[in-house]
C-alpha cells in the first residue's frame, strides 16, 4: 500500500472528544480521516452542508456559548416537572 503522511494541529479537547466517539465506532483517527477524504472524493466536495450563519443564528450561538461559560448566572432544573412548576408560578 502506498501511503502518505498528513500532519495537522487541532484543539486538544476536540481531538479527545472525537477519539472517544471513534473508539466507540471501532475506528482509529487515521481510519476516520481516510473515510473523510474518500467522501470528499466521492461527493466532489465537503461531504456535509456548510452555511454562513444568519445574524439571528450567530446571536443564538453567542448566547449559547455565554450560557455555557457562565452557568452560575442561570437557573437550571434536574427535572422537567421542576421547570414547569417554576414556569407556572411566574404567572405564565
Instruction: Look at 10-14, 30-34, 48-52, 61-65 and tell me which has the smallest mean pLDDT.
Output: 48-52
Give the pLDDT confidence score for residue 56 in this predicted structure: 95
Give the pLDDT confidence score for residue 1 in this predicted structure: 77
> Above 90 in pLDDT, residue 90?
no
Give the pLDDT confidence score for residue 79 in this predicted structure: 93
pLDDT tens for each residue of 50-59: 888 899 999 9
Residue boundaries of the structural domains of the chain? 1-50, 55-89
Q: How far apart are CA 19 and CA 12, in angstroms?
A: 10
Give the pLDDT confidence score for residue 58 in this predicted structure: 93
Q: How far apart are CA 73 and CA 49, in angstroms?
A: 34
Task: Evaluate if pTM is beyond 0.75.
Answer: no
CATH architecture, domain defined by 1-50: Orthogonal Bundle (1.10)
Amino acid at each position: 500500500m502506498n501511503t502518505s503522511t498528513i500532519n495537522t494541529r487541532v484543539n486538544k479537547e476536540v481531538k479527545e472528544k472525537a477519539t472517544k466517539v471513534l473508539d466507540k465506532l471501532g475506528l482509529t483517527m487515521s481510519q476516520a480521516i481516510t473515510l473523510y477524504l474518500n467522501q470528499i472524493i466521492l461527493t466532489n466536495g465537503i461531504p456535509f452542508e456548510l452555511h454562513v450563519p444568519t445574524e439571528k443564528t450567530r446571536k443564538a450561538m453567542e448566547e449559547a456559548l455565554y450560557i455555557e461559560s457562565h452557568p452560575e448566572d442561570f437557573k437550571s432544573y434536574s427535572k422537567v416537572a421542576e421547570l414547569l412548576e417554576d414556569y407556572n408560578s411566574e404567572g405564565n
